[in-house]
Structure 1
Amino acid sequence: MRKLTYGMNVSLDGYIAAPGGGIDWGVPSDELFQFWSDQLQATELTLYGRKLWQTMSSHWPTGDQQPDAGPADVEFARRWRDMAKVVFSSTLDKVDWNARLFGGDAVAEIARLKAEDGGPMDIGGAALAGAAMRAGLIDEYVLTTSPVLVGGGTPFFAALDGSVSLRLVETRTFPGGVVLTRYETRR
């Protein structure tokens, strides 16, 4: 069975995007960017909701060709393009860059993918991850918390019907006061 991880940059008040979708408060340091790039390399399959897919696919297919792209950007762009991706959307018609589109029951598909043999999977996008959380499919949560309050927006955690017991497995501090916390779901 595959492991499913949900991880994103988060404001101190628990949001992955500010009101209006802004994420400029979460610009990572070089060290934090490298952490996320290493996470990507260790992942066999990434599951995207439509909004996060549109954000990622608007930049990373050519992120290594931008005039200001450094070695870390080049590495991340290559890793992103090469890795397998599933995009969950009922409104998109097609996806590119080593991705396939799935428009059916997301929870059933995520459960099916988890049951397969294979390497780790990541999930991104608040609505998609929220559905997986409510279904008890998330094995690990990775939060890199920025020292900023955005006051509202898109929350990292979905509303749940009950509590989920977690075990802290790692903490780390990055430049700029960003704190990594990694939790495993207790089963």
Structure 2
Amino acid sequence: MRPLRYAINVTLDGCVHHEAGIAPDEELMGFWTAEMQSVDAVLYGRTTYQMMESVWRRPASGRWPDWMEEWEIPFAEAIDRVPKHVVSSTLDAVDWNAELVHGDLADAVRALKNQPGEGTSVGGVTLPLRLAELGLIDEYIFVVHPVLAGHGPRLLDGLSERTNLELIDRREFGSGAVGQWYRPVA
């Protein structure tokens, strides 16, 4: 069985918006690269899929853009290569090594989890909330940044029931961010 991991950057006040000023430095990008390389697939909602595609898809020229730092390229190559599953009620088609998820979300995600492999990563805001509500997330990875955003979407905002988690690992980064790994307590 392939575990489903929700991995995301979050500010101290719970903001998970990508524009909250928490862009990764070289050390954190190495961490996220290793995370991306450790999964067999990613699961995104439409918004996250389109956002990631707009930044990390290999250009038709085959050359990464000039704005990209050398230490960002391994992440770009890892995410470009990994199979993507996209949950959307508005998209008719996807590409970028992706396929649309059809039918019942819980059944589709269980089918993904039942495939052999190292794991599937889910990102974003809305889809992970739905998956947490369904009890389908096996591991949570939160990289908590020493930033107070003051606004923006919040981590799992609207979760209907409390979910107890146990801390299984922790890592401090030079930037002051702290990675925390949790598993739901049965």
Do they fold alike, i.e. is TM over 0.5?
Answer: yes
- Partner of 2:34, secondary structure, is helix
The residue identity in structure 2 corresponding to 1:36 is W
- Residue 5 of structure 1 is matched in structure 2 by 5
Alignment of 1:20-35 (within 5 A): 23-35=19-31
How far does residue 24 in structure 1 lie from its aligned partner after superposition? 4.6
Quote the Cα distance in structure 1 between the aligned partners of 2:38 and 2:90: 30
Are the counterparts in 1 of residues 145 and 178 from structure 2 also a CA contact under 8 Å?
yes
Quote the Cα distance in structure 2 between the aligned partners of 1:148 and 1:73: 22
- Residue 127 of structure 1 is matched in structure 2 by 126
Q: Which runs of 5+ in 2 are unaligned?
A: none
Quote the Cα distance in structure 1 between the aligned partners of 2:180 and 2:9: 11
Deviations along 1:59-115, whole A, 9 cap, x unmatched?
Answer: 111376111323322211111111111011111122121111124322221122112
**Given the two structures, how large is their TM-score scaled by the length of structure 2?**
0.91
Specify whether residues 152 and 108 from structure 1 end up closer, same or farther in structure 2 by C-alpha distance, changes over 3 A only.
farther
Give identity over the alignment, percent.
Answer: 36
- Residue 86 of structure 2 is matched in structure 1 by 87
Are the counterparts in 2 of residues 50 and 125 from structure 1 also a CA contact under 8 Å?
no
Quote the Cα distance in structure 1 between the aligned partners of 2:107 and 2:137: 13
- Residue 142 of structure 2 is matched in structure 1 by 143
Deviations along 1:142-183, whole A, 9 cap, x unmatched?
Answer: 111111111232112143332222111111111221111111
**Given the two structures, how large is their TM-score scaled by the length of structure 1?**
0.90
Of Structure 1 and Structure 2, the greater helix share is in 1
Specify whether residues 37 and 57 from structure 1 end up closer, same or farther in structure 2 by C-alpha distance, changes over 3 A only.
same
Q: Which runs of 5+ in 1 are unaligned?
A: none
Alignment of 1:1-187 (within 5 A): 1-17=1-17, 23-62=19-58, 65-187=64-186
Deviations along 1:5-41, whole A, 9 cap, x unmatched?
Answer: 0010101111111xxxx51511111101100000000
RMSD across aligned positions (CA): 1.6
- Partner of 1:77, secondary structure, is helix
Name which of structure 1's ranges 86-95 and 56-65 shifts more when overlaid on structure 2: 56-65
- Partner of 1:111, secondary structure, is helix
Structure 1 ranges of 4+ moved more than 3 A: none
Quote the Cα distance in structure 1 between the aligned partners of 2:81 and 2:105: 23
Name which of structure 1's ranges 74-83 and 47-56 shifts more when overlaid on structure 2: 74-83
Specify whether residues 55 and 104 from structure 1 end up closer, same or farther in structure 2 by C-alpha distance, changes over 3 A only.
same
Of Structure 1 and Structure 2, the greater strand share is in 1
- Partner of 1:58, secondary structure, is helix
Quote the Cα distance in structure 2 between the aligned partners of 1:57 and 1:74: 14
Quote the Cα distance in structure 2 between the aligned partners of 1:91 and 1:171: 38
Count how many residue pairs are aligned between Structure 1 and Structure 2: 183
Quote the Cα distance in structure 2 between the aligned partners of 1:72 and 1:87: 27
